[in-house]
Amino acid sequence: MNTNNLWKMNSWNKKFGELQIIKFIRQKFPKRRKEILKGIGDDAMVLRNGYVVTTDSFFENIHFDVRYFSMSALGHHCMAASLSDLAAMGASPICALVSLHLTKTLTIKDIEQLHTGFEKITKKYGMDIAGGDVVTSPAFGVTITVIGYTKNPLMRSGAKPGQALFVTNFLGLAEVGRTALKMNLPKKEYPDAIGKHLYPIPRIFEAQSIKKFATACIDTSDGLSTDAYHLAEESRVKIVIDAEHIPIHPEVGRFCSTNNIESLQCILSSGEDFELLFTAYKLPRMKGTKVFRIGRVMKGQGLYLSVRGKTKRIEPSGYEHSI
Amino acid sequence: MNTNNLWKMNSWNKKFGELQIIKFIRQKFPKRRKEILKGIGDDAMVLRNGYVVTTDSFFENIHFDVRYFSMSALGHHCMAASLSDLAAMGASPICALVSLHLTKTLTIKDIEQLHTGFEKITKKYGMDIAGGDVVTSPAFGVTITVIGYTKNPLMRSGAKPGQALFVTNFLGLAEVGRTALKMNLPKKEYPDAIGKHLYPIPRIFEAQSIKKFATACIDTSDGLSTDAYHLAEESRVKIVIDAEHIPIHPEVGRFCSTNNIESLQCILSSGEDFELLFTAYKLPRMKGTKVFRIGRVMKGQGLYLSVRGKTKRIEPSGYEHSI
């Protein structure tokens, strides 16, 4: 993939479009202001004074479905997803600015309940909602800007050959939960997965322990392959994911086998788990947080998958190149 | 108007909804974090370290019409509107985070030209684009978060009885321009108005002079009556607008007389001029910037309009209460 491909596409296309457009913007707008420590190319922008800022948008029928999202759960989900970017930087949240994109069919009760969701999660992290915008929109959505602070930001760019790749908890659960809800599968069969999709937990507290020994970090919002690819790109290293080391949550395993999907493929391409994917030389004991070692950092570039002793180069989408 | 009215509405309604929803959010999320100097209730959030942050959303067919907006003009328009909030705070821009809400029908060329618009205006103000988000959306739009800095933020809350109300340049032009474009009126008859709608100028540079003597400030994004109402509310004063002192731009005058509209009403209710509306004891000479004295600050509360010696209370919409 290179940015020239951008010009070969006639229309905006989700599958390859997002990464290409971000590359294009990054080239067009290089970092010039001295106040900025890190601009485009990480989970959040970092100011030299320690403030970390990031913005995320969510739209109905693209990012959430109100058939199974209560407005309160939606408020939680969107704020959690936004906060996850602060967690990935090792930053503690201070406040959010919320832009509400409201369609005319929404009721006042909807708006009130959405804010009940915001209230619960912002309270948990001791943060304010300190601004935003309210506009009429043809499509219901929200854009959340969160501001946090850290003395030592954890970048995507610090991975070094010889380090290992770690992830908190299980991957693929959120996508299984989303699919279970969409397919109207029995909820009691997928409690963790459904909970993960509706109420993801940004790893704000865990990040404070992890940053003591982590060298690079990203949150798993786009799927393991895309997120690991970003780490490799930004750190200018090669990352090898050891397929056999990826933990499979029972609900992901059951869902995949029932639906004849390879669970590895599911985990590589399924996003929105909002776990922390990070590199470190070794892993100290961490109280109360599951952390799995799932790969290695090596000299070179690109993302590789090692399955049963064979190593193949893979693309951010999880797509395997034939070798 | 009080927040209880919120509960009497069943559905979200643009006319009264925005102000009510902002009041509701402000009550639900009082300022708690010590890092925040000013939260909800001004043109932007202000951090104690001097950083000023604000976010604005723009959607096709609500805030802009691509039948007469080139993508480059659109990039300018949205960034200018966002920067205007920084101008109102007397802040200098540092950077923007842009969340692109892209429909599938947009072409790569559209996205490129949108960024040409962003590039020109961000260059003018020496600012970076330092982050953002790219998402598929059911409706085309952008949400822009801008970050600026000022040692001495200019709030909405500093107006005191005995001061006068001033505005930079003419009001009502942008709305006349929008309507002229919508009605496909001859462009050469409304050059200033059309220019104002497509390419508004955020008063970033002017704000640096104005802040030396201004006590309170807001940008005219929602129409003179709504913006003056905000100044009165936040400063806990009464503001009287002297109708005869409001300057009428020839294009606004001609448009209103041709279309049988009262020009005063047009100016009270038409937004998006992005001029600065501010209070001060007196007005020093300002090089190159037209500033008009259009009203007075008095003890009391609410917004009043003085026409031919009669003073009437008016609502933010420009609506006149019968007395």
> Can you give the CATH number for the domain in which A106 is found?
3.30.1330.10
A143 and A171 belong to one structural domain: no
A69 in helix, strand or coil? coil
Q: Quick check: is A10 in a domain?
A: no
- Scanning every residue of chain B, which has its alpha carbon at the shortest distance from the alpha carbon of A21? B134
B127 and B253 belong to one structural domain: no
State how far the alpha carbon of B264 is from the alpha carbons of A100, B15, B292, B315, in Å: 31, 19, 15, 14
Quick one: which of B49, B48, B213, B228 has its CA closest to B156? B228
Query: What is the Cβ-side half-sphere exposure of residue B110, based on CA atoms within 13 angstroms?
Result: 17
Of A28, A45, A101, the CB nearest to B119: A28
Does the structure's ipTM exceed the value 0.90? yes
Cα distance between residue A115 and residue A136, in whole Å: 17
Q: Quick check: is A159 in a domain?
A: no
What's the pLDDT band for B11 if we cut at 50, 70, 90?
Answer: low
- Scanning every residue of chain B, which has its alpha carbon at the shortest distance from the alpha carbon of A14? B136
Q: Is the pLDDT of residue B179 over 60?
A: yes
B114 and B178 belong to one structural domain: no
33-72 of A, contacting B, C-beta below 8 A: 33, 35-36, 39-40, 44-45, 47, 49, 51, 53-63
B186 and B306 belong to one structural domain: yes
**Predicted pLDDT of residue A323:** 38
Mean pLDDT confidence for A135-143:
96
Of B40, B49, B138, the CB nearest to A62: B138
pLDDT > 90: percent of chain B: 87
Q: Quick check: is A192 in a domain?
A: yes
B180 and B113 belong to one structural domain: no
Last residue of a domain, one of A114, A149, A184: A149
Q: Quick check: is A321 in a domain?
A: no
Phi, psi of B129 (to 5 degrees): -100, 115
What's the pLDDT band for B323 if we cut at 50, 70, 90?
Answer: very low
H-only helix segments in chain A: 4-8, 14-28, 71-88, 108-124, 173-182, 191-198, 204-210, 224-235, 250-258, 263-269
Question: Residue B247 gets which letter from DSSP?
Answer: -
Q: Is A1 touching B (CB cutoff 8 A)? A: no
Cβ atoms of residues A101 and B59 within 8 Å: yes
Q: Is the dihedral of CA B292, B1, B160, B222 positive or negative?
A: negative
- Scanning every residue of chain A, which has its alpha carbon at the shortest distance from the alpha carbon of B41? A131
Q: Quick check: is A110 in a domain?
A: yes
**Predicted pLDDT of residue A2:** 34
- Scanning every residue of chain A, which has its alpha carbon at the shortest distance from the alpha carbon of B55? A132
Q: What confidence tens digit (pLDDT) does each residue in A190-238 have?
A: 999 999 999 999 999 999 999 999 999 999 999 999 999 999 999 999 9
**Predicted pLDDT of residue A283:** 81
B7 in helix, strand or coil? helix
Domain count, chain B: 2
Cβ atoms of residues A251 and A176 within 8 Å: yes
A267: left (phi over 0), alpha (psi -120 to 50) or beta: alpha
B46 and B188 belong to one structural domain: no
How far does A121 lie from chain B, in Å, by closest CA? 12
What's the pLDDT band for A137 if we cut at 50, 70, 90?
Answer: very high
B140 and B169 belong to one structural domain: no
A247 and A132 belong to one structural domain: no
Q: Which residue type occupies A151?
A: K
Mean pLDDT confidence for B44-65:
96
Element (H, E) at A168: strand A164-168
Question: Residue A90 gets which letter from DSSP?
Answer: T
Cα B289–chain centre separation = 18
Say which residues have a Cβ less than 8 Å from residue B46's Cβ, sequence separation at least 6: B36, B37, B38, B52, B89, B153, B155
Last residue of a domain, one of B125, B149, B173: B149
What's the pLDDT band for A6 if we cut at 50, 70, 90?
Answer: very low
Phi, psi of A94 (to 5 degrees): -110, -50
Cα distance between residue A256 and residue B242, in whole Å: 71
Last residue of a domain, one of B149, B181, B213: B149
Mean pLDDT confidence for A147-172:
97
What's the pLDDT band for B17 if we cut at 50, 70, 90?
Answer: confident
State how far the alpha carbon of B54 is from the alpha carbons of A29, A133, A192, B152, B305, in Å: 20, 9, 37, 17, 30
Q: Would you call A12 and B40 a contact, using CB atoms and an 8 Å cutoff? A: no
Mean pLDDT confidence for A94-99:
98
Q: Which domain holds residue B82?
A: 31-149
Cβ atoms of residues A75 and A113 within 8 Å: yes
110-139 of B, contacting A, C-beta below 8 A: 110-112, 115, 118-119, 122, 126-139
Q: What confidence tens digit (pLDDT) does each residue in B212-263 have?
A: 999 999 999 999 999 999 999 999 999 999 999 999 999 999 999 999 999 9
**Predicted pLDDT of residue A7:** 44
Q: Is the pLDDT of residue A114 over 90?
A: yes
**Predicted pLDDT of residue B10:** 53
Q: Is the pLDDT of residue B282 over 90?
A: no
**Predicted pLDDT of residue B20:** 87
**Predicted pLDDT of residue A13:** 59
B95 and B191 belong to one structural domain: no
Cα distance between residue A77 and residue A194, in whole Å: 12
Q: Quick check: is A26 in a domain?
A: no
Whole-model pTM: value is: 0.94
A308 and A169 belong to one structural domain: yes
CATH classification of the domain holding A305: 3.90.650.10
B302: left (phi over 0), alpha (psi -120 to 50) or beta: left
Q: Facing residues of B55 across strands?
A: B145
Q: Quick check: is A188 in a domain?
A: yes
Say which residues have a Cβ less than 8 Å from residue A93's Cβ, sequence separation at least 6: A83, A86, A125, A126, A127, A146, A147, A148, A204
A309 and A177 belong to one structural domain: yes
Query: CA triplet B119, B121, B126: central angle to 5 degrees?
Result: 90
How many other β-carbons are positioned within 10 Å of the β-carbon of residue A243? 18
Q: Is the pLDDT of residue A15 over 80?
A: no
Q: Is the pLDDT of residue A287 over 50?
A: yes
Q: Would you call B105 and A137 a contact, using CB atoms and an 8 Å cutoff? A: no
Mean pLDDT confidence for B98-113:
94
| B chain contacts of residue A75, beta-carbon cutoff 8 Å | none
Say which residues have a Cβ less than 8 Å from residue A8's Cβ, sequence separation at least 6: none
Cβ atoms of residues B71 and B118 within 8 Å: no
Mean pLDDT confidence for B92-96:
98
A241 in helix, strand or coil? strand
H-only helix segments in chain B: 14-28, 71-88, 108-124, 173-182, 191-198, 204-210, 224-235, 250-258, 263-269
Mean pLDDT confidence for A162-184:
96
B118 and B172 belong to one structural domain: no
Cα distance between residue A278 and residue A217, in whole Å: 4
8-37 of A, contacting B, C-beta below 8 A: 9-14, 17-18, 21-22, 24-25, 28-29, 31-33, 35-36
Cβ atoms of residues B111 and B173 within 8 Å: no
Q: Quick check: is B62 in a domain?
A: yes
Mean pLDDT confidence for A23-27:
93
Q: Is the pLDDT of residue B7 over 80?
A: no
Angle, helices B191-198/B250-258, rounded to nearest 10 degrees: 100
Q: Is the pLDDT of residue B14 over 70?
A: no
